[in-house]
Amino acid sequence: MSATIAAAAWLEIVEGPAPILLIAPHGGRAGAAARAALHPKVNDLETAAIARELADRLGACALINSAMDRNELDCNRLGQLAARAPWMLELIASRVEHMARRRGRAIVMLIHGWNVIEPRVDIGLGLRDHGAHLRPPAGAHVSASDDFISGPVSAITERLDRAGIAATFGMRYPGGARQNLLQAFTPRHRASDIPAVRRLAALAADGAVDAIQLEMSVAVRMPGPLRAKGIAAIAESFRFAHGDDRGSRHWIENIERNLRRARRNPRSAAATRAGRRAVRRRADPVWRGILRRRRKRWRNRQLRSRRGRRRRTDHDSV
């Protein structure tokens, strides 16, 4: 397999200590296959560079298609990968397994491009927004846990909103199609004939992997202030996943502040999006339990960190 990977000059591999795997499946350039097609698919320009920058900011691993035309090989389609690049599925599975063994959980982030002009990010979780509820399209499996959706995904939508970038859930790309790479990180393919996909499905069934697909519009991908704000919003929301507690603490403090405002003045709180969300969460016992568990987990991490620093100090003084 190593020889095959070495021969695939179009795949850029970035190593990092965080339990986060970034994948940019469509970061290549149009080639002969695109020119020969009557209606070629468009490659997601700038997603390779965005994946590199996110990997650097998060300390994440990344698998970046920087040259392969999606009209020749679509790295977001399980069937095409299994037939023409099975080594890439093995590479993904081995990376995710290593992260799950080492840190107990892995996060997979797929970076895509959405060819609309206005500043938007469509979030794919195998879910589509139906008013006040998120529901999977027919046959789709959800690619993330409730804690993940209520935590970093919720934080991402709030930060993007503050940056002037509209965040939607499955408005155009819910990531629910059977051959979509996102669905490999759900239990949907437990009976797959592809060993690597079966291993990923087993990890998902055990709750050891959360996956998200980010479809970034043209305005958010092109170099400039909006792109910088979008990358910062994503990086800040996922920082806590590799040991930096500030992202988790910010999320907890922000939600608790909104809850206090909602309790003091429910009518005024309902005038803002964050306030309406806080009012709904206050009335939701399941969500209150999630917040309580996350607060306890953050405090335990802080306690372990202080104990570790104390042990190192004691050791140095001996």
- As averages over each run of 10 residues, the pLDDT of the chain (318 residues) reads 60 94 92 75 93 95 95 96 96 96 93 95 94 88 93 92 95 95 97 96 95 97 96 87 48 60 60 55 58 72 71 54
| Cα–Cα distance, 74 to 83 (Å, whole number) | 11
Q: Return the axis-axis angle of helices 225-238 and 154-162, rounded to nearest 10°.
A: 150
231: left (phi over 0), alpha (psi -120 to 50) or beta: alpha
- In order of start, what are the domains of the chain with their CATH numbers? 2-241 (3.40.630.40), 246-317 (no CATH)
pLDDT value for 103: 87
Report the chain's terminal Cα–Cα distance, integer Å.
Answer: 49
pLDDT value for 164: 95
Which structure tokens are listed for 121?
A: 């990010």
Kindly report whether the global pTM for this prediction surpasses the value 0.85: no
| Cα–Cα distance, 185 to 191 (Å, whole number) | 13
